[in-house]
Amino acid sequence: MDKINCNVVSCSHNKKQVCYANCVDIVGPSAQKHSDTSCSSFLDKSHYSRLTNNVLSEGSCDCLQCSVESCTYNSNHLCTLESIQVSGGENVDYYTHTACSSFKLEG
C-alpha cells in the first residue's frame, strides 16, 4: 500500500496520484478541520519539473512527519495511519492550497 495518496498532480513529487517525495511534512499546528492543514513539501512542477525519480529512495514516499497535534492520528509528530490522502486538486500552485483529508479532530 502506498503511504501517501495525493491528488495534487501539479506537485513535482506526484506520480499517478501517489507521492514520491523522500519525506513529507504535514503542517497546521492548531488545525480544527482538514482545510487548516497543508503539505509543506509541495513543490510546483512548473518551477521544479518532475522529481519523482529521486536517488535517495526507491518507490513511493514512506517517511511522513506531521506537526498537526490536534489530529487524533498524531503521535509525537508522526502519523499513526498506514496511509493518508492529501488533496488539493489540479491547479494548486502554493502549498497552503493542499490539505490532509485524513485529518480527524481529536476529542
- Interface residues toward ligand SF4, by CB under 6 A: 4, 6, 8, 11, 13-14, 19, 21, 24, 26, 37, 39, 41-42, 66, 68, 71, 73-74, 79, 81, 84, 86, 98, 100, 102-103
* Cα–Cα distance measured from residue 74 to residue 55, given in angstroms and rounded to the nearest whole number: 29
Q: Minimum Å distance from CB 68 to ligand SF4?
A: 4
Closest CA to 41 of 69, 76, 14, 60: 14
Q: Minimum Å distance from CB 83 to ligand SF4?
A: 10
Q: Minimum Å distance from CB 22 to ligand SF4?
A: 10
**Residue 13 or 30 having the CB closest to ligand SF4:** 13
In what order do the strands lie in the sheet containing 64-66? Answer: 38-39, 24-27, 64-66, 78-79, 74-75
Beta pairing partners, 75:
78
Q: Cα 32–94–78 angle (5° rounding)?
A: 50
Q: Minimum Å distance from CB 52 to ligand SF4?
A: 9
**Residue 55 or 74 having the CB closest to ligand SF4:** 74
